[in-house]
Amino acid sequence: MMPIKPAEQILFDRVKVTWVEPEVQRRVQQGLVTQPMILTHCLILCKKGKTDKVLLNQEVWGDVVQLQAIFVNAVTPEEPVMHSNITGITKIILSDKWRGYSFIFFILGKDGRYYLISKSMAVIVGNREFEMLYDLMRTEGIEASQPEHEVQVYFDFVQNMYNASSTPALKRRAVKDLAEARLSYLRRQLTQSVKRHLRLPIVFIHPENEFMPLLLEVRATYIDGYFFSCIASAATTADRICNALTQRYGLSRKDQRWYLEQTFGQKFDKLVSNKIITKQQKTTLVKMNDIRNRHIHPRKTISELSMKRDAFVMTKLLHEFMNETYGVQKDHTFHEGRLVPRRLI
């Protein structure tokens, strides 16, 4: 399977498939090209409502008025420039007859890399890829890629079979195949899922509690190995608990709206000053927010192992915070085998 290509390589490949290769093929069919062509220059001119024009190699110089490039070694005026001395493009000016046209120009440079410069291509292609990659493509260059034979993708074959099924019997078969595939996956994951389940704290909250389904969902994502989802849902659940506590302790509607408008991490200090949570509970929330930010706004690549560990810690912290706010043990204790109200002092 092929590795994932960088965005600039993918875009360059699409340029060749869209304009260059069809033009070369047209010339071959007309007998204008009788030997392998080494592509050294290309100018593609586009305008809505007009036929695209593709100029190859020396043809481009009739329409390029000025080209400024970056060189490995300094060159003097009138000195021939070798392709091996080019390491980038800084500016290009076309003749007046192409005013108002979008264009792509690229030239072969050092180490067989192509350097590309473009103008207003979003008008033609409908997206900003050329603008986003503009500096990278004109100064870093792109390799000429080989023909593609295999591309690594994820494809839901079973669902495709279901959608393409023309009869109820075929659809039932597709459903059965999907069920068998899911069972096979679950069997392979079962031992690890059970081990993760047994590591979690015991659930001990009121069954009618509005946050119990959310807590169970956090646990389920950890048990099933969906660690990023676990972290995100745990942080969201803790945030919703904070909002609910402002209602539980009778804050004004204005204050409640303030909490709803703030991010998770912006609420902690005011929750403490309003005596809604303790400083120790704030510490728990700060740890949760740190984990959340590490994964929601990553500054470096995060390994699967690190995500797994953080998901476990996040789940434990959520249990801890919920037990101290909406948990049974916050207000009750065991006495002679029965749950009874906890004494205030």
pLDDT higher for 154 or 313?
313
Q: Is 275 left (phi over 0), alpha (psi -120 to 50) or beta?
A: left
Query: Which of 84-93, 148-157, 171-180, 231-240 is predicted least confidently?
Result: 148-157
pLDDT higher for 144 or 269?
269
Q: What is the CA radius of gyration of the chain?
A: 31
Non-local CB neighbours of 177 within 8 Å, separated by 6+ positions: 158, 161
Residue 147 has a pLDDT of 59
* Rounded Cα–Cα distance for residues 271 and 299 (Å): 29
What end-to-end distance do the CA atoms of the chain give, in Å?
67
Q: Across 29-38, 46-55, 80-89, 224-233, which has the greatest mean pLDDT?
A: 224-233
Nearest to 218 by CA among 206, 207, 202, 232: 232
- Report pTM: 0.65
79 pLDDT higher than 70:
no
Average pLDDT of the residues in 28-39: 84
* High-pLDDT (> 70) share of the chain, %: 93
Token pair belonging to 295: 């994964």
Q: How many residues does the chain have?
A: 345
Beta-bridge partners for 45: 53, 103
pLDDT in tens, 49-72: 889 999 999 999 999 988 888 888
Per-domain residue ranges for the chain? 7-143, 154-189, 200-341
Helix H or strand E segment including 341: strand 338-341
Residue 1 has a pLDDT of 47
Average pLDDT of the residues in 24-42: 87
149 pLDDT higher than 60:
no
CATH match for 200-341 among 1.10.10, 1.20.120, 1.10.3470, 3.40.50 = 1.20.120
Beta-bridge partners for 143: 113
* High-pLDDT (> 90) share of the chain, %: 60
- To the nearest whole number, what is the mean pLDDT of the chain? 89
Token pair belonging to 3: 């590795």
DSSP type of residue 13:
H
pLDDT in tens, 166-209: 888 988 888 888 888 888 888 999 999 999 999 999 888 877 67
pLDDT higher for 208 or 114?
114
Non-local CB neighbours of 143 within 8 Å, separated by 6+ positions: 9, 112, 113, 114
pLDDT higher for 13 or 37?
13
36 pLDDT higher than 90:
no
13 pLDDT higher than 80:
yes
User: β-strands 338-341, 102-108: how paired?
Assistant: unpaired
Residue 329 has a pLDDT of 77
